A and B are shown apart, each in its own frame.
Chain A
Amino acid sequence: MTLSRAMRGFPPGDDGMHAAVRRFDWAATELGEISTWSDALKALVAVMLGSPQPMFMAWGRDKVWLYNEACIPILGEKHPAALGRRTADVWAEAWSDLEPLIENVYAGAPVRMDDFSLKILRDGRLQEANFNFSYNPAFDVAGNVAGLFGVCTETTAQVQALRELASSEQRLQMALSAGNSIGTWDWDVVGDRVTADERFARLYGVDPQQTAAGAPARLFLANVQIEDLARLDIEIAAALKTGEPFASEYRLRQPDGSVRWVLAQGQAALDAAGKAVHFPGVAFDITDRKQAEAHQAVLRNELQHRNKNMMAIIWAIANQTLRGDDIKLRRDAFSERLMALARAQDILTATSWIGAPIHDVIAGTTAHQDGRIAASGVPLTLDARRALSLALALHELTTNSIKYGALSVPDGRVAISWSIIDTGDASMGQGFRLEWQDSGGPPVKPPETEGFGSRLIKRVLAADFQGKVSIDYAREGVRVLLIGTLQGPESLP
């Protein structure tokens, strides 16, 4: 067939589907030769083939399928075999869905479907595709429904995009919900309406339904801690004016009276005139972080306090020890006292400075005496102050005994005993009695002057145990008696 002849036949036109319809052997179908087609059929076929919009037809009892060039991408691999075939064969895989719709059209009722989902064969496999369909009955000259005229638009890409958006939104909401501490807002600055999610609403103490519908911005500032409000106002004003990223940490009063910290971050969108129109953002509940920071600050403060106090203690020991002319003796004494302090610290560090078992304090001070110091008493825990004080006092007593007392001779012994006693005063709490007894040493001579060791025992030990200390320089052995209490004002050095 030449071009000129083709142009003279029906349907006129030379694009692929015009030619395909013209060449098709319609005599083998219910429609018969083209020359026998009714004017109504020819008119519809001409309209269909001339349209850039995807269109198709089903004609006759067999619902013989015709379609235009724009419909080819929708048909996929069904083209070109679909032309002239029964609709039920063309759409065999979707016929159970399509048949009732098409039968409706044949009954005279148009059908419209948006984003209708069909499984169709494309690229060698069944794929889901979506279409907006409009099926309209086509009438013959007698006014009977002779076929179906369809207009179709594929919406697969839009449907998938919407699904992806919904999925993304769902993932976002799941992420936000998982944190349970992140709220989002969008402030229509021009209309002064803040819309926000439920988390944001609850965090700011505003009715969630009100925030879902949109509420004035001032409602969300009503529960801002008064000390933070002026600063926040300035920061918001700057963000609206400049369009620069906004970030602010402030406190919100909660309905139950508690206070929560939030970090709000957002960025205002400005119009061409530089005026803020929208201000979206997110708010994070950072109360836990703030509490952790506060706790850290307390710990740093406490650590600084302990360190400075410990330096003051060391300075006091140094100041009281390093007096006199024999610098080597003084230096050794200072070193030993420092070691005694360090050992007591080790014991306290093991219990986070809560307290120290008295057996550990005594063992830490007297461990190097080959069992010549016998310690006996009830198990009990001393607070940090008493533990340090006792450790230093026992160090002084041990050192003195090694130099002048029982531990200066092979047969000498020391007995340390302690017990809980009744103070007779309920407000004083448990009483405490500790005795140090030298025995088997050389005859004791009372010291001519009072040194740091004696002062430490008499004054520091007595003060820290809120009691009294007596030292008896008996000829047969030094006896030290502490009567005090086990509770009192706590203050860790």
Chain B
Amino acid sequence: MPPDRALIPIRTILVVEDESLVRINTALELEDLGYQVCEAADADAALRILAVEPVGLLFTDVDMPGSMDGLALAALVRARFRQMPIIVISGHMDVAANRLPTGSEFLTKPYLTEHIIAAIQRLSS
């Protein structure tokens, strides 16, 4: 069951994922839950969006092409947006915990919509 939307005080989620099908599926799921979703295929595109959109949560894959990976993006976002919740996802189980920024959740692929919701809830609480 989807959680009570009112429990999650986030309006816009930025989904950063280079795998288009996965990214769009995640975006559609989040849209169905009532969020506004911005999409980026790499960290550089994500930073451009962050510069102009009022993003409330960063949802990023780790392994991506471009100038930086998802962990570097998350660290940069943490430095610029100290309160922004961050969800980091990866196909690798062994992403070092000390590379995850504070105030972040880690999910492994493949993830279900319920996993995203639970992570958002933990971050919101």
- Give the CA-CA distance A317 to B29 in the complex, in Å: 12
| Whole-angstrom CA separation of A449 from B113 in the bound complex | 23
Closest residue of A by beta carbon distance from B62? A305
The answer to whether A317 and B110 touch across the interface, beta carbons within 8 angstroms, is: no
CB contact between A463 and one of B25, B41, B108 (< 8 Å): that residue: B41
- The reply to whether the CB of A455 lies closer than 8 angstroms to some CB of chain B is yes
Q: B25 — which chain A residues lie within 8 A by C-beta?
A: 315-316, 319-320
Q: What per-residue 1/0 map shows which CB atoms of B39-64 lie under 8 Å from chain A? A: 00110000000000000000000011
Cβ–Cβ contact B24 & A305, under 8 A? no
Contact with A along B59-81 (1 / 0, CB 8 A): 00001111000000000000000
A491 — which chain B residues lie within 8 A by C-beta? 18-19, 63-65
Nearest B residue to A313 by beta-carbon distance? B21
Q: Whose C-beta in chain B lies nearest to the C-beta of A315?
A: B110
Q: Which of A314, A320, A489 contacts B28 (CB 8 A)?
A: A320
Also in contact, A460 and B21, with CB within 8 A (given A490-B65, A491-B63): yes
Q: Does B3 contact A (CB under 8 A)?
A: no
Contact in complex: B65, A308 (CB < 8 Å): no
Contact of A304 among B65, B66, B92, B112 (CB under 8 A): B92
Chain A residues closer than 8 Å to B26, beta-carbon distance:
316
With A304-B92, A309-B91, A320-B25: A489-B20 Cβ-Cβ less than 8 Å: no
Chain A residues with CB under 8 A of B24: 316, 455, 459-460, 463
Query: How distant is the Cα of A435 from the Cα of B24 in the complex, in angstroms?
Result: 23
A489 interface neighbour in B21, B22, B65, B92, Cβ under 8 Å:
B65
Establish whether residues A308 and B109, one from each chain, have CB atoms under 8 Å apart when the complex forms. Answer: yes
Instruction: Answer whether residue A311 sits at the interface, using C-beta atoms and an 8 A cutoff.
Output: yes
In the bound assembly, the distance between CA atoms of A493 and B91 in angstroms comes to: 11
Indicate the member of B24, B29, B90, B91 with the most A CB atoms within 10 Å: B91
A460, B20: Cβ atoms closer than 8 Å: yes
In the bound complex, CA of A309 to CA of B63 (Å): 10
**Partner among B19, B29, B112, B113 whose Cβ is within 8 Å of the Cβ of A313:** B19
Tell me the bound Cα distance from A459 to B26 in angstroms.
13
Query: In the bound complex, do residue A319 and residue B108 qualify as a contact, i.e. CB atoms below 8 Å apart?
Result: no
Give Cα distance in the complex from A392 to B112, angstroms.
22
B86, chain A: closest CB distance, angstroms: 19
Report chain B residues within 8 Å CB of A317.
21
B12-40 residues with Cβ-Cβ distance < 8 A to A are: 18-26, 28-29
Partner of A309, one of B19, B42, B113: B19
Bound-complex Cα distance A312 to B25 (A): 10
Which A residues form the contact surface with B (CB < 8 A)?
301, 304-309, 311-317, 319-320, 385, 389, 392, 455-456, 459-460, 463-464, 489-491, 493
Can you add 18 more A-B contacts, CB < 8 Å, to A316-B24, A493-B19?
Answer: A304-B91, A304-B92, A305-B92, A306-B91, A308-B110, A309-B109, A311-B109, A312-B91, A312-B110, A313-B21, A315-B22, A317-B21, A489-B18, A489-B41, A489-B64, A489-B66, A491-B19, A491-B65
28 contacts across the A-B interface (CB closer than 8 A) = A304-B91, A307-B91, A308-B92, A308-B108, A308-B109, A308-B110, A309-B22, A312-B22, A312-B91, A313-B21, A313-B22, A314-B110, A315-B22, A315-B110, A315-B112, A316-B22, A316-B24, A317-B21, A319-B25, A319-B29, A319-B113, A389-B21, A455-B28, A459-B24, A460-B20, A460-B21, A489-B42, A491-B19
